[in-house]
């Protein structure tokens, strides 16, 4: 895959996001795209967003469920980047028209209290370097038709990142057993999914450690103040205008957002 082809694909993905339209997956045209090609496209995509004024504020993890990895035929997780343009707040209604076919998934967010870099970083190292954890909701929104893609496709598309909301209650990680923390996600008060922290590589901090080690292979790492979404605790659920989505995590409280048509926003 040539440099020019990668640049064209970056513009294609950005245009799909901007115009809120589905596109065919990249591997439909380029079936030999490698995972290395995909991460390079992802890096260029984020660089374009930064050039447009967005600021990279963290990382998100994907395919952190062993079951999902087996389903995709892979042996490790994937990562994408979070920008300040993706950060939403609980007190603001999110317009459904911002997205193509959005889904919500519950997460545990880590706020880094110090820089962390290396290739032999453990979950304990992550917990020592984490200042707070909090419940979060990630909104994923693949640009591909019908949310269908291969592993390189989703990596190139920044792992379907679209938006995220973090709860206002931040808790010191040492006060909780994150693996045993139960989670419930509801839409309009009706339970949609349940799970626990152990769904994320056995422990959410293990997921973050994986990301640090992966970045360490490239000579980079996590920075103080960054937010890390450690991976979906349950499957993702589609939502519609008028829905209110809430995620509750044992020991951390809850986080929620309301989704409206932009015509109905207050």
The whole model's pTM is what? 0.93
Distance, C-alpha 189 to centroid of its chain: 24
Question: What 3-state class would DSSP assign to 136?
Answer: strand
CB 154: neighbour CB atoms within 10 A? Answer: 26
Is residue 254 predicted with pLDDT exceeding 80? yes
Maximum CA pair distance of the chain?
50
Structural domains counted in the chain: 1
| 235 within 8 A of 102, measured Cβ to Cβ | no
pLDDT of residue 251: 94
CATH number, domain with residue 89: 3.90.850.10
pLDDT of residue 182: 96
Closest alpha carbon to 6 in 47, 65, 60, 63:
47
Tell me phi and psi for residue 130, to 5 degrees. Answer: -90, 130
Compute the CA torsion angle 183, 134, 235, 30 (nearest 10 deg).
-170
117-171 per-position pLDDT tens digit: 999 999 999 999 999 999 999 999 999 999 999 999 999 999 999 999 999 999 9
Contact partners, residue 51, CB within 8 Å, separation at least 6: none
For residue 232 the two structure tokens come to: 């979906």
Domain that holds residue 184: 3-264
Is residue 108 predicted with pLDDT exceeding 90? yes
179-219 per-position pLDDT tens digit: 999 999 999 999 999 999 999 999 999 999 999 999 999 99
- Give the pLDDT band (50/70/90) at residue 103: very high
């Amino acid at each position: 895959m040539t440099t020019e082809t990668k640049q064209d694909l970056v513009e294609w993905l950005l245009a799909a996001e901007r115009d809120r339209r589905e596109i065919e997956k990249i591997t439909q045209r380029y079936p030999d795209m490698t995972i290395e090609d995909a991460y390079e496209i992802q890096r260029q995509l984020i660089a374009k967003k930064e050039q447009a004024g967005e600021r990279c504020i963290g990382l998100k993890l994907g395919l952190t469920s062993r079951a999902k990895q087996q389903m995709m035929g892979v042996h490790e997780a994937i990562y994408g980047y979070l920008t300040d343009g993706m950060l939403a707040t609980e007190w603001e209604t999110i317009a459904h028209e911002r997205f193509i076919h959005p889904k919500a998934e519950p997460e545990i967010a880590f706020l880094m209290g110090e820089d962390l870099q290396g290739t032999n970083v453990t979950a304990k190292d992550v917990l020592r370097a984490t200042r707070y954890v909090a419940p979060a909701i990630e909104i994923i929104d693949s640009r591909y038709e019908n949310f269908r893609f291969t592993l390189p496709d989703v990596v190139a598309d920044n792992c379907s990142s679209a938006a995220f909301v973090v709860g206002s209650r931040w808790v010191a990680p040492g006060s909780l057993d994150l693996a045993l923390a139960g989670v419930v996600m509801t839409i309009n008060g009706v339970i949609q999914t349940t799970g626990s922290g152990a769904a994320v590589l056995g422990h959410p901090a293990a997921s973050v450690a994986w990301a640090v080690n992966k970045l360490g292979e490239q000579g980079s790492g996590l920075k103080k103040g960054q937010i890390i979404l450690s991976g979906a605790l349950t499957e993702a659920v589609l939502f519609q205008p008028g829905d209110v989505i809430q995620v509750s995590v044992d020991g951390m409280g809850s986080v929620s957002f309301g989704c409206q048509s932009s015509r109905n926003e207050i």
